Amino acid sequence: MSTMSDVAERAGVSLSTVSYVLSGKRAISEPTRQRVLAAIDELDFHPNELGRALASQRSNTIALLFPALTRGIGELHLEFVTSAAESAAKHGYSFLLSISPDEDEEAVRLARRGFTDGLILMEIKLQDARAELLRHRRFPFAMIGHREDNDGISFVDVDFVHAAREALRYLASLGHRRVAFLGASDQLMAVGYGPAVRSLAGFTQAIAEFGVEGTWHPCDASPRAAYAVVEELLRKSPEVTALVTAHHEASGGMMQAARELGRRIPADLSVVAMTSPRQAETFTPLLTTMDFPAAEMGRLGAELVIRQLETEGGEAEPIHRLLRAELTVRQSSGPAPGRR
């Protein structure tokens, strides 16, 4: 079995140079690095990963902490996870997904026990204690989402205020004057879940700006809950001609309720949702969306953590990325009845 000394002799370098190539702790010239890597291949050398991790006090792992709040992990969430994992692998890191009912304790546990070098936080609340705990411990982390106070913290998020406004602007331009928004549950609003609070703010601003009569309807993030809300809504308010939701899970239930009440989509009722293009094209009719950049957010969340880990001293300047959801018109929306 080959050893590091054998690799050093084959490559014509010192033992410490081989160690630095393997650990990445010091910059090595590219020609020298390539000689060492070639020697590793030729000798079929397999470094002891555990030993290297213990020696460097690094696990070469990043983790995504997903509390799930009141929901499970849906298909859109998997786009975040898959993209973050792919980005981690591209940069030479292993990836850990952690789900815990006590997200504050889980964040501390992962940071304290050395399971991971850095954390990605998801499902961010306006006052998110996990960020304070990690910032106090000076543990590398980034957020997919953002708080009210983001001083010194890197994050990537969608501009939910803009997304709600653009959805209403589009529907108003088609002549819709009675619009209903299926928003987050009362429970999520009560805990200050960022996307829920910002979607309501954008919707409230937009109905005033565009002269639309709009109503907000709390709804759990499930097709069954959306079905019940829309079924009751359309029975009581048949004059509603458009539905909007930031729940990607709600769209199927919304459309089913409308169809069962004899409302044709989009002839009688337009539907606009915030979800990824991939999910939008699984519906019939194809769903008009404010496109949710889940894959890009997962990738950037991982890169923001890795950037901290690979910056000397871990003092990377914080980066704030607020992405815009773009409108994609498909088959579920059209002019208001009477405007055709």
153 with 222, same domain: the answer is no
Would you say residue 333 lies in a domain?
no
Residues whose CB falls within 8 Å of the CB of residue 216, separated by 6 or more in sequence, listed in order:
180, 181, 183, 200, 203, 204
Question: What does the chain come to in residues?
Answer: 340
282 with 239, same domain: the answer is yes
285 with 299, same domain: the answer is no
pLDDT at 6: 80
pLDDT tens-digit readout, 54-69: 444 566 889 998 876 5
166 with 18, same domain: the answer is no
pLDDT at 59: 67
Would you say residue 339 lies in a domain?
no
Would you say residue 26 lies in a domain?
yes
- Beta strand 320-323 with 270-275 is unpaired
CA distances in angstroms from 326 to 157, 159, 252, 332, listed in the order given: 14, 11, 21, 16
Would you say residue 274 lies in a domain?
yes
Gap between the Cα atoms of 189 and 319, Å rounded: 27
98 with 169, same domain: the answer is no
pLDDT tens-digit readout, 75-94: 777 889 999 999 999 988 89
Specify the DSSP class assigned to residue 141. E
> Which phi and psi angles does 88 have, rounded to 5°?
-60, -45
Would you say residue 331 lies in a domain?
no
As beta bridge partners, residue 258 has none
- Beta strand 178-183 with 213-218 is parallel
CA distances in angstroms from 43 to 2, 4, 35, 46, 114, listed in the order given: 6, 10, 12, 9, 32
pLDDT at 249: 81
- Beta strand 326-328 with 288-291 is antiparallel
303 with 209, same domain: the answer is no
104 with 179, same domain: the answer is no
Gap between the Cα atoms of 135 and 112, Å rounded: 13
The answer to whether 94 and 60 have CB atoms below 8 angstroms apart is: yes
At 70, list the tokens: 């009141």
At 277, list the tokens: 């293009």
The answer to whether 89 and 56 have CB atoms below 8 angstroms apart is: no
The C-alpha angle 62, 66, 72, rounded to 5 degrees, equals 145
Would you say residue 179 lies in a domain?
yes
92 with 9, same domain: the answer is no
pLDDT at 57: 55
Would you say residue 118 lies in a domain?
yes
What is the CATH classification number for the domain harbouring 95? 3.40.50.2300
- E strands, the chain, are 61-65, 94-98, 118-121, 141-144, 154-158, 178-183, 213-218, 242-245, 270-275, 288-291, 320-323, 326-328
CA distances in angstroms from 296 to 4, 146, 163, 274, 321, listed in the order given: 39, 16, 17, 15, 11
198 with 245, same domain: the answer is yes
At 49, list the tokens: 């990963």
What is the CATH classification number for the domain harbouring 29? 1.10.260.40
pLDDT at 54: 42
- End-of-domain residue from the set 16, 39, 56: 56
pLDDT at 256: 95
201 with 284, same domain: the answer is yes
pLDDT at 58: 61
Which residues, given as ranges, of the chain have pLDDT below 70?
1-2, 15, 23-26, 46-59, 68-74, 101-102, 112-114, 312-315, 339-340
Gap between the Cα atoms of 273 and 8, Å rounded: 58
The C-alpha angle 142, 146, 150, rounded to 5 degrees, equals 75
192 with 270, same domain: the answer is yes
Q: How many domains does the chain have?
A: 3
164 with 287, same domain: the answer is yes
Specify the DSSP class assigned to residue 210. T
What would the 3-class secondary structure string for 123-138 be? CCECCCHHHHHHHHHC
What's the pTM? 0.79
Would you say residue 256 lies in a domain?
yes
Q: In which domain, by residue range, is 24 found?
A: 4-56
